[in-house]
Amino acid sequence: MEWLQSNQEQVRLLGYLAVMIGLGVPLATLVSRSHDSATQGTLTRFIVESVTGFGPGLVTLEAFGLGGILTLMLLLLFDDKKWAQGILLWIGLGTLTVGFWLSGFVPRIALQLWAHLGHVALGATAALLLVVPRTVWDSVLDLRIPRRREFRRAPKLIYIAVMGSVVLLYVEYHVVYPPVFSPGTIGEATVGVRLDNLFVDSVTAAGFIVVTRKFMQYEAKKTVAFFGKRNAGKSVLAYCAPTDYMNRVARYADVPPLEISQDLYELLGQGEEVLIEDDGSGPQTGEWFIDNNEQNDLEEFSWTIKDGKLFPKNLQIDIRDHAGENLPPFVKALSGVPIDELDRGNPEVIRALLEQVENADTIVLLIDVAALRDPGDSLDAHLYGEIISEYGASKEIVFAATKADLYDSEFRNETGLDPYNVGNFDRFRRFVTRKIQRESNVIATQMRDVGADAVHPVYVRTVEDENGDRVPVVTDDGDLQPFGHVELQERLK
C-alpha cells in the first residue's frame, strides 16, 4: 500500500498506457465500420454535402482537422506539464494505426493526402495560432528558449476533437437514419439501432472518452477542508503546515512556491514576533502567539501545493478558522435546520462553513488530544457524526490528531524512541492511532464507518514549564518545530 502511495503517478501512467493500447484495435475497427457505413449516405455526409456549394468538402475538412490535431499533439510533447500525456497520445495513435493495418482499412484522407497538403498546413497553422501563447512566440522570435512552455488550450481542444469524433463514429454506425438523410432521397422516416458489436463499441467509445478526459485535464484540483472544536489547534495547524512544507520539501525539491491566502500571510507574520526564552537550563522555548477566535471571526487560511511531475495537480488546503462555538450550530444546519432558526452561532460563519464542506473533496476531522485526555473537557466527537453521515459516502474522510505531543512521554516509555525524530514518525502514528481508538469508542466507530485506518498526528515540539504547562520549543530564529504536517499533506495528495 505504501509503495502504491509513493509511486501512484507511475502506476497511473502504466494504467493509462494499458488502456490506450488495449482500446487501439477495437477503436480502429469502429472507425473502419463507421467509415464504410458513412459511404452509404448518412448524417455526416448529408450535412457536409448539403453545404458543399458554400464551403469545403468532407475530405477537405478531414485534412484540416488532421493538421490541427497532429499539431496539438506535437505541442504537448514540449509542454512542461503535459509531455507525458503527449507521449501517451502518440502511442495511442500508433496503436490505432496498427489496428488499421490489421483490419486492412485505409482512411479516406490517406488516399488523397498529397492533394490536400495545403489544407493540412492550414489546420496546423490554425492550431498554432489558437494554442501557442504570446510569451512563447516572443521567445521564439528572439531566438530564445521559452522559460515556461504551457499550451493550456491544447488538451481541451484535443479532448473536444476526440470526444466529437468518437461520438460521431459511434452514431454513424449504430444509428440507422431515416432515408431523408441520404442526399437526394426521400422516403419513409424510420430510425433504428444497429445491434451488432453494440456492447464492444459502447465500452470502447466510453472508455476512450473517459480516459482521455482524465489525463487531458490541464491541472487537476483537490480541495481539502478542516473541521475542529474550539481550541482544537486549527490556527496552529494553519501556521505549521505550510511552513513545515516549505522548510522540508520546497527548500530541497524542485517544486513551485505555495500560493497563500492573505489571512495566512498575516498569520505567518505573527511568528516573526515570537519572544525567545532561554535560561540555559534546557531547550529554548517561546510563547504561544496565536489567540482563539471570537464568535464572529472567520479567517480563511488556505494554501495551494502544486504537486506531481507526470500528472500535475493543485492541492488546495482550506482551513476556515472560526470560534469553536460555531461547530454545533453548523452541524445542526447540516442536518437540515434552517440557519435563521439556529439559536447559536454566527449565520455568516455557518454559511461559509456549509459552502466549504460542500466544495471539499476531502474532509479532515481534528481530534484534540488535550480534550481527549482531560476529564473536564469534551472532545465533541459526536458532532462529526452528522458530517460523516452526510458526506462519508461521497467524500474522503481523514482523521488528524492535534497536540499529539501530549503522548510523547508515553511513547518514549513504551518504545524508547523519540517522537521528535522524523524517522520515528510512522511508529508514532501507529501508537497515536491505537491510543485514540482505545480512549474514544466514538472515534473508533467513526473510523470504521469511513474505512480510515490511521489517525495522523500533527504536533509541535513542546516541554513542560515550571507551572506544568506545555510551551513550544523554538529554533534560534524563534520558529516552532512542527512534526507530522508534511506527512499529512502528502497523505492528502
Domains of the chain (ranges, CATH numbers): 2-216 (no CATH), 220-492 (3.40.50)
The pLDDT of residue 321 = 74
* Mean pLDDT, the chain, whole residue set: 78
Q: What is the pLDDT of residue 183?
A: 46
257-271 pLDDT, tens per residue? 677 888 887 877 766
pLDDT band at 77 (very low <50, low <70, confident <90, very high): confident
Q: Which three cell numbers stand for residue 139?
A: 521567445
How much is the pLDDT for 404? 92
Q: Say what the pLDDT of residue 446 is.
A: 93
Residue 359 confidence class, pLDDT cut points 50, 70, 90 = confident
Q: What is the pLDDT of residue 424?
A: 93
| pLDDT tens digits along 393-442 | 889 999 999 999 999 999 999 999 999 898 899 999 999 999 999 999 99
pLDDT value, residue 85: 82
> Is a pLDDT exceeding 50 seen at residue 326?
yes
**Which amino acid, residue 10?**
Q
pLDDT at 219: 62
* pLDDT band, very low/low/confident/very high, at 369 (cuts 50, 70, 90): very high
**How many Å apart are CA 140 and CA 191, to the nearest integer?**
54
Highest average pLDDT, of 38-47, 152-161, 257-266, 313-322, comes from 152-161
Most confident of 198-207, 223-232, 300-309: 198-207
Name the percent of the chain lying above pLDDT 90: 15
Average pLDDT over residues 82-89: 83
Please give the model's pTM, rounded to 2 decimal places: 0.67
Flag whether pLDDT at 222 surpasses 70: yes
Calculate the CA dihedral of residues 111, 115, 121, 127 and round it to 10 degrees: -50
Is 115's pLDDT higher than 50?
A: yes
15-24, 216-225, 363-372: range with lowest mean pLDDT: 216-225
- Dump pLDDT digits (tens) for 99-109: 888 877 777 67
**Which of 53-57, 59-63, 309-313 is modeled with the greatest confidence?**
59-63
Tens of pLDDT, residues 141-165: 555 555 567 787 888 888 888 888 8
Q: What is the dihedral of CA 471, 474, 477, 483, to 10 degrees?
A: -120
Whether residue 281 is predicted with pLDDT greater than 70 in this model: the reply is no
pLDDT band at 217 (very low <50, low <70, confident <90, very high): low
